[in-house]
Amino acid sequence: MANRVIPAASKLLKTIRPVNSASSTTISAISQPIGHAEKAPHPTTTTTNADSVTLSLSSFDDADKLFASVSTSRLLRAALNLHMVAVEPMVDVGMWVMRSRLMQTPLIKDVILGLIRSTIYDHFCAGEDAVAAGKSVMELNEAGLRGMLVYSLEYAGDNEACDRNLQGFLDTAESTKSLPPSSVSFIIVKITAICPTNLLKRASDLLRWQHQDPSFNLPWKRDTFPIFSQSSPLYHTLEKPEHLTPEEERDLELVHQRLLKLSQKCAEANVPLSVDAEYTSIQPAIDYLTYSSAIIYNKDDHPIVYGTLQAYLKDAKERLLLATKAADKMDNITEFNKQTLLNI
């Protein structure tokens, strides 16, 4: 997935590029992980430590320069880790061990977790907390890259869990203030971490039905951009859904407030917020929530809230153009987030 801001809708399709054309490095963390580092999309006065390194990252062909900041031993260990996780029987054994009674024995558990920490965890995760993740961001910054901070929580079953998860995202955004300017390109949020999945499913069903029947009133619906196109699949909702109950409406309003609070925190930290995509049955509600927040916070040429467009879906281009056209017509927004996350 990658984002780019463009100045006008007429240039939209010309500037979209696949994710694998960007310079990137992928790391993440259990607490405040960093995933998919990329070159800075916004103009900035901050410079990298080595212009030659930054320039070389425009191509993946020169492996020597691309991995100049990584030691040979670290590269060999990375290759070994990737080969291990590519062996299906080894993955199956690992999953069996993690679920077995062996994990109930303290000494054995410590040994297993220590092995995991020194191999798979160190490879895929940036650190256990904001401090450790910040060090990983610094390493990327020294190599001329930027990091996406990902608080790796995805699902919540009730409002209490959603509020706990929200605090984690807020802390992640706050942690960027102690890092070099422009070293973090995005804070990534999963809506499923701040909204129960069943509520997303209910809202998505209702939005689909309203798309089929515009007379179907949704009293809770806020200002948004087009979520569907003529080619959007509607098979997830074959029967007219029941309206949200008063309790569900209150819960949905709480979700709005959580996302707005996180958007405000990101605005204060001057770091963009990227809302990740999910599976198609709940994506309409995620797009609705994202657009509603974007309408409030994307009011100048430095947008805060970014959505995710899964470009492999057949209706992606149409939805992109519809949303862009609607945004351009809004008087209170001078520049909508035309930077589109491409998931090829």
CATH (domain of 174)? 3.20.20
Q: Could you tell me if residue 99 is inside a domain?
A: no
Q: Could you tell me if residue 322 is inside a domain?
A: yes
Instruction: Give the pLDDT score at 143.
Output: 80
Q: Could you tell me if residue 91 is inside a domain?
A: no
Q: Which pLDDT tens digit goes with each residue over 91-108? A: 999 999 999 999 999 999
How far apart (Å, rounded) are the C-alpha atoms in residues 127 and 176? 15
Domain count, the chain: 1
Instruction: Return the SS3 of 148.
Output: strand
Q: Could you tell me if residue 160 is inside a domain?
A: yes
Judged by average pLDDT, the poorest of 55-59, 208-212, 314-318 is 55-59
> Which position has the token pair 């930054």?
54
Give me Rg for the CA atoms of the chain. Answer: 21
Residue 21 has pLDDT above 70, yes or no: no
**Confidence at 50, pLDDT banded by 50, 70, 90:** very low
Instruction: Give the pLDDT score at 194.
Output: 96
**Confidence at 18, pLDDT banded by 50, 70, 90:** very low
Q: Could you tell me if residue 272 is inside a domain?
A: yes
Instruction: Return the SS3 of 139.
Output: helix
40: containing domain: 9-60+129-342
What does the pLDDT average to over 244-249?
97
For residues 200 and 287, the answer to whether their CB atoms sit within 8 Å is: no
Q: Could you tell me if residue 97 is inside a domain?
A: no
Per DSSP (E only), the strands in 295-340 are 305-306, 308-309
What does the pLDDT average to over 45-58?
39
The more confidently predicted of residues 300 and 259 is 259
310 CB neighbour count, 10 Å cutoff: 18
How far apart (Å, rounded) are the C-alpha atoms in residues 159 and 255? 9
Query: In Å, what is the CA distance from 170 to each residue of 23, 88, 299, 339?
Result: 28, 37, 22, 23
What does the pLDDT average to over 226-240?
94
Q: Could you tell me if residue 327 is inside a domain?
A: yes
How far apart (Å, rounded) are the C-alpha atoms in residues 307 and 312? 15
Claim: this prediction has a pTM higher than 0.85: no
Q: Could you tell me if residue 243 is inside a domain?
A: yes
Q: Which pLDDT tens digit goes with each residue over 171-181? A: 999 999 989 88
Q: Which of 301, 294, 300 is nearest to 273 (CA)?
A: 294
Residue 191 has pLDDT above 90, yes or no: yes
